[in-house]
Amino acid sequence: MTFAQYAWLVPLFPVAAFAVLITLGRGAGRQAAWIGTLASLVSLILSLCIAGERLSGTVDEYNAHFTWLQIGNYSLNAGFDVTNLTSLMLVVVTLVSFLVNLYSHGYMRDDERITTFFAYVALFTASMLGLVLSDNLLTLYIFWELVGVCSFLLVGFWFQKPEAKAAAKKAFIVTRIGDLGLLIALLLLFWYMPGNALDFSSIHNVFTTEAGVIAGGITTLIALLIFLGAVGKSGQFPLHVWLPDAMEGPTPISALIHAATMVAAGVFLVARTFVIFQASDAAMTTVAVIGGFTAIFAATIGLAQNDIKRILAYSTVSQLGYMMLALGVGSVSAAMFHLFTHAFFKALLFLGAGSVIHAVHTQDIREMGGVGRNMKITAWTFGIGALALSGIPPFAGFWSKDAILTAALTHQPLLFWVGAVTAFLTALYMARLFFMVFAGNPRGEAHAHESPAIMTLPLIVLAVLAVVAGFVETPFNGWFGEWVTGEKPEAHTSAMVIVVSVAVSLLGVYLGWLIYAKGTVRRDIVSSRIPGLVKVLENKYYIDELYRFILVKPLGGLGKALAVFDEYVVDGVVRMAGQSAAGLGRLNARLQSGQLQGYALTALIGLVIIALAIAGRRFW
Amino acid sequence: MLENIPVLSCILLAPLVGALLVLLLPKQQGSWHRVTALVFSVIPLVLTLWLFASYQTATGGAPYTEHFTWLSIPLSRDLGQDISSMLVNFDYHLSIDGISLPLLLLTSVVSVMAAIASVHVRKRWKMYYALFLLLETGMYGVFLARDLVLFFIFFELTLIPMFFLIGVWGYFAREKAANRFLVYNGLGSAAMLLAFLILIATAGFTAVQGTDGVQIAYSGSYDVLLNNIADPNAYANMDPSQTGDAGLHLSEGLKNWAFVLLLIAFGIKIPIFPFHTWMLRVHTEAPPPVVMIHSGVLLKMGVYGLIRFAAFLLPAQLEDWSTTLAVLGVINILYGAVLACVQKEFKLVLAYSSVSHMGIVLLGIASLNEIGLQGAIYQSVSHGLISALLFLIVGTLYERTGTTQIDELGGLAKSMPFLSGILLTAGMASLGLPGLSGFVGEFLSFLGLFGSMKWLTAIGVLGVLLAAVYVLRSVLGITFGPIPDRWTDIKDARFVEAVPMIALTALIVLLGVFPSVMTDMMQQGFNGLLEQIQQRAGG
Amino acid sequence: MNMLASYLTLAAVLFCIGLYGVIVKRNAIIVLLSIELMLNAVNLNLVAFSKYGVQPSLTGQLFSLFTMTVAAAEAAVGVAILVAIYRARASVNVDEFDELRR
């Protein structure tokens, strides 16, 4: 017996918790919420066992599947795979989910729908676990959609807020654009793959050993469509717009979405189907360029935002760009490594932000300040997270970012510099965030106080992980990448990458300290000289407005036009047919005057005509 | 246990008996009528469930078939020397197969739910329930009949109760809606009758060698037609120069005409753009339980007819017309979806979404492969359940608020969490969320069509995105957001309302998670058709 | 033979005058009188043919006697209806009586 055989239980526990909690409903009370936490704890333990088993390296990869649907000669399967990659993801997802669960007991304590909240969280976790375990693209797609709907439910959890409603709607619809891409890619693969197979091992075989079975153009198309799906879920440009708005959900959910579940799905998908991308240079370049562009694009927006959660949201978009960049330059291991470390420090940052919001009841960093004095644990852990995100050694973010930049330098030197600039911007906005929130004097009214232990405990655990997680793969000890991808990574650490990345990060932090803590550089140094730039950044490059202008408005207009068409043309033709018959009847009715003499005259005329006709026939 | 009982006739006649019983009951006792209607709706449900459980794909519907001649009219046309008699036969022929059984089950489930949901009917219960049960008989007959004439009779039989149910118990513009319904469907029936006459007159006769000469019998028997049209040596397919009787030759041109007429007849029912406007009115004006039946079952009669008669009898024509069908399907999907995005009335959103979803069914039929055809039936069943659930909710909602305008509602998740949760689930099923039945139907239809027409499918898939837009816009408009003061005190669904909702939701989830409960059965139903299509493609 | 032509011409003229009166006149009494005129034109024809026809016989004259009786009865009924209508509507104008339409 191996633990891997029971991997299907991992998502099953949260599903069971969901079923129980949603059935109990609102009346169950706060204590019932522990069911969800318990389920995620069990899942975590099982995941750790599975991962331990994989780490020991003594068991083979495990796959089990059954026929979900059999139609004639075609069969659609469902099943699960246990590999190093999936076991890693299992641990990340269950761990973050468990910590978020714990934290939520404190954060959501006073919410009357707390059981519903935990039910949704459990379903969210289960969907993501299912996605991770899927052994074929169809199963993955099913869980992919479920992840989407769960994030929709949670973003819109406070349904009475109009902003939450709009954000939930936006999150669902924008990611659905990407889902369409994935769906079409799925259809393409089904019909082009030999034997209509959709499982990842067949895909792997077809695209590596039997290259040429699927034409190059189709391969590129499939890869790009899959990438479209990933762009939607992972918030890459131009479908990133939903992610910052998703901040309307409760903060623990933001942590869950940004660290382990929703957005990681896109990166995971590309990593899982990486062979398809490798078979097409065009697709690889697209992934790298979009990733790099998103990284720097989101980082610049992050500089100008004032909402603590939005800054973190844009930093997620930016970091996901990094991961895509890594995938685009061919380094799955670097991408997965960054996904792994990012999960911890981003969850840490969001939970820390939640702790702050919980204390000061505002999300605007201009109204905060000096929070660190009263919230020591939050401040310290948040600081560790910020340093990790900024890529300061020896924190986790440094090592993974370094791996990405190294890969970028070897394959796309231009993108290396994009990444380096992004690293600088990241350090700068994180410094701005940290110093404006925790340093200086309080600017708002609210009096901050430390959160309860149930909220700080997850922070401490995550802070520890944010420090140590990076050491699994250092330039001196690269077993992690090999373990995850099964291939020995090219060893080519260059001193230049380390120097550049450390230098830009330190420069960013220093500059941030100068501006926002020490005040030697004036804050409006940029906005006073180029006011337009700041305005553009604050409005996120007007992407939302652009969408409204080129998509939403025309769709509404088209709908209204078609409504008129439907009412007056399609229905009008029918109405006209009916009315013309009725009109004809009315016309005939007019002849029926009731005037006896008129009738007589008509009869006479008719008689004459008949007589003439009969007489006339003689002459023809 | 039930082997010796004519199960199919019992299914067919139980509601009719119920209707008569309701008419005999004293007028004042509303609850008696309700219970009678419910009981006589449950009987077919139990029987169809038994059929479903005992159905063997190996033997098909043969053990249940009931077939005897109902009416036989001698024709005194100038008989030739060898011909002893010439007859027109009307057969009573009921049977089931993998295609009709799922739809039969859908009918019984939706009927029972609609019967329960009829608690909100406030006037003239007696007439209401009598007509309701009569409508049920008509629907069962449509799915059971294996004789063209019998099918036509039952198809027409559904029109009359529907007309009165809309016209008497509907909302404000009910009479207009009822008239529009009757005019359109009358037109469709005329087209169907003409097509049936063409088929019966050319391919509907059998010649039996008796002792005193050949007995020739005309009948609308489905099996006879199926064999005669498919058999190249049958009289209908012979060249008129050989037989010397051009009137009995089913030429390619005639087949084409028959197909087009059938397409129009069932296209009005489905409805296919531009024949959809009558349906919008019925959706908005008819009472919710009737719309449950209408949207849940009656539209599927069109799908069933199209597959049973147009596709199975004339597969070659189906192949010729498949691109047109697919284009019509895509138009339906997008047209319905875009219009659903801008409606202010929730019932109209649902009506247009039905147009959109029935487009997906057309795509499945147009795909001409087993995946797509199964998808079409699956989508029909799933849409039937989902729209029944949605209109159940609409009825419950209207009962409390007196409006279904999206602008006037809002935030109802606060005061009616259960109903809102069900509404959200139904909406998710409608937009094709995996794990719920809508996804399977959509996915199979798209997957099937993608094998033959890639570009059209890719365009049609856009409908899935638009579905998300209109479902979320309307459902969130009703349940999310701040709650207006006047709705803060309304009560959540009562027990009698919640039971059918839970049952339908459970079915939707079941079909979404384990689609194979239905697909294995449907597989057998399509075998014959696929062989024919493949034969033609090969030869 | 010329005699027959003259009778027929006279009858035709009378018939046309009667027809004109029936169609054009508004007063119901005049319409009734015009109908009498048309009937009498027919009577004239009957008598003329019975005297100068291809097979002269008394049948035609007999018929004209019948016609006169029927005409008298018709006039009596017609006038009675007219009186009734006049009592109800205080008018004998034909164009005001269009109840048939409804």
Question: Mind listing the pLDDT tens digit for each residue in B141-173?
Answer: 999 998 899 999 999 999 999 999 988 888 888
Nearest to A165 by CA among B476, C42, B459: B476
End-to-end Cα spacing for chain A = 108
Average pLDDT, chain B: 85
In the predicted model, what is the mean pLDDT of residues A178-195?
A: 87
Whether B443 has a pLDDT exceeding 60, the answer reads yes
Residues B279 and B290: beta-carbon distance below 8 Å: no
The DSSP result for A192-244, as a single string, is: HSGGG--BHHHHHHHHHTTTTSS-HHHHHHHHHHHHHHHHHHTT-TTSTTHHH
A591 touches chain C (CB under 8 A): no
What residues 44-73 of chain C have any CB closer than 8 A to a CB of chain A? none
Check residues A451 and A475 and name the one with the higher pLDDT.
Answer: A451
| Nearest Cα residue in chain A from B433 | A145
pTM: 0.84
A597 touches chain C (CB under 8 A): yes
Whether A483 has a pLDDT exceeding 80, the answer reads no
In the predicted model, what is the mean pLDDT of residues A25-39?
A: 78
Nearest to B189 by CA among B221, B161, B218, B152: B152
Work out the pLDDT band at C19, boundaries 50, 70, 90. very high
Q: Where are the beta strands (DSSP E) in chain C?
A: none
What whole-number distance in Å separates Cα of residue B422 and Cα of residue B430? 12
Question: Which of helix, strand or coil describes residue A77?
Answer: strand
State residue A525's pLDDT score: 67
Contact across the interface for A595 and C95, Cβ inside 8 Å: yes
Instruction: Give the CA count within 13 Å in the CB-facing half-sphere of C36.
Output: 17
State residue A467's pLDDT score: 83
Is chain C in touch with chain B: ≥3 Cβ pairs within 8 A? no
Q: Where are the beta strands (DSSP E) in B8-160?
A: 66-74, 83-94
State residue B3's pLDDT score: 62
Range among A40-54, A581-595, B345-359, C88-102 rated most confident: B345-359
Please identify which residue in the block is written with the tokens 């169609």.
C23
Contact across the interface for C23 and A600, Cβ inside 8 Å: yes
Average pLDDT, chain A: 83
What percent of chain A is helix, strand and coil (3-state, nearest 5)? 80, 5, 20
Whether A518 has a pLDDT exceeding 80, the answer reads no
State residue B538's pLDDT score: 47
Whether B240 has a pLDDT exceeding 80, the answer reads no
Whether B529 has a pLDDT exceeding 80, the answer reads no
Whether B256 has a pLDDT exceeding 80, the answer reads yes
Check residues A150 and B76 and name the one with the higher pLDDT.
Answer: A150
What percent of chain B stands above pLDDT 90? Answer: 26
∠ at Cα A526 (A521, A530), nearest 5°? 160
| Chain C adjacent subunits, 3+ CB pairs under 8 A | A
Domains of chain C: 2-101 (1.10.287.3510)
Check residues A446 and A372 and name the one with the higher pLDDT.
Answer: A372
H helix or E strand, kind and range, residue A71 = strand A62-71
Angle between helices B315-342 and B252-269 (to 10 degrees): 30
Please identify which residue in the block is written with the tokens 């991770």.
A132
Rounded to a whole number of angstroms, the distance from the CA of C48 to the nearest CA of chain A is: 24
State residue A448's pLDDT score: 66
Rounded to a whole number of angstroms, the distance from the CA of A157 to the nearest CA of chain B is: 10
DSSP state at residue B432: T
Q: Is the ipTM of this complex over 0.90?
A: no
Check residues A450 and A11 and name the one with the higher pLDDT.
Answer: A11
Q: A462-483 burial, b for 16+ CB within 10 Å, e for fewer?
A: bbebbbebbebbbbeebebbeb
Nearest to C22 among A592, A593, A597 (CB): A597
Residues A13 and A39: beta-carbon distance below 8 Å: yes
C97 touches chain A (CB under 8 A): yes
Contact across the interface for B183 and A578, Cβ inside 8 Å: yes
In the predicted model, what is the mean pLDDT of residues C26-38?
A: 90
B377: which chain A residues are within 8 Å (Cβ-Cβ)?
A: none
Domain residue spans in chain A? Answer: 3-540, 545-619
Work out the pLDDT band at C100, boundaries 50, 70, 90. low
- Two structure tokens written together for A447: 């009096």
Convert the pLDDT of each residue in B379-418 to its tens digit.
999 999 999 999 999 888 888 888 888 888 877 878 888 8
State residue B539's pLDDT score: 39
Convert the pLDDT of each residue in A266-310 to its tens digit.
888 988 888 888 888 888 888 898 988 898 888 888 888 888 888
| Chain B adjacent subunits, 3+ CB pairs under 8 A | A
H helix or E strand, kind and range, residue A64 = strand A62-71
**Which class for B407: exposed (0-12), middle (13-18), buried (19 or more C-beta within 10 A)?**
exposed
Please identify which residue in the block is written with the tokens 């019948």.
C66
| Nearest Cα residue in chain B from A567 | B277
Nearest to B320 by CA among B271, B377, B392, B368: B368
Rounded to a whole number of angstroms, the distance from the CA of A291 to the nearest CA of chain B is: 25
Question: Which of helix, strand or coil describes residue A164?
Answer: helix
What whole-number distance in Å separates Cα of residue A41 and Cα of residue A46? 9
Which region among A44-58, C24-38, C64-78 has the lowest average model confidence (pLDDT)? A44-58
Contact across the interface for A596 and C100, Cβ inside 8 Å: yes
Contact across the interface for A563 and B276, Cβ inside 8 Å: no
Contact across the interface for B450 and A570, Cβ inside 8 Å: no
Please identify which residue in the block is written with the tokens 């009008």.
A572
| Nearest Cα residue in chain A from C22 | A597
Rounded to a whole number of angstroms, the distance from the CA of B458 to the nearest CA of chain A is: 7
Work out the pLDDT band at A608, boundaries 50, 70, 90. very high
Contact across the interface for B371 and A72, Cβ inside 8 Å: yes
Convert the pLDDT of each residue in B367-383 to its tens digit.
888 888 888 999 999 99
Q: Which amino acid is at B50?
A: W
| Nearest Cα residue in chain A from B502 | A23
| Chain A adjacent subunits, 3+ CB pairs under 8 A | B, C
Domain residue spans in chain B? Answer: 7-70+91-202+251-538
Contact across the interface for A71 and B519, Cβ inside 8 Å: yes
Convert the pLDDT of each residue in B189-237 to its tens digit.
999 999 998 888 888 777 777 777 778 788 888 888 888 887 777 766 7
In the predicted model, what is the mean pLDDT of residues C20-36?
A: 90
Is chain B in touch with chain A: ≥3 Cβ pairs within 8 A? yes
Q: Where are the beta strands (DSSP E) in B170-244?
A: 205-210, 213-219
State residue A488's pLDDT score: 64
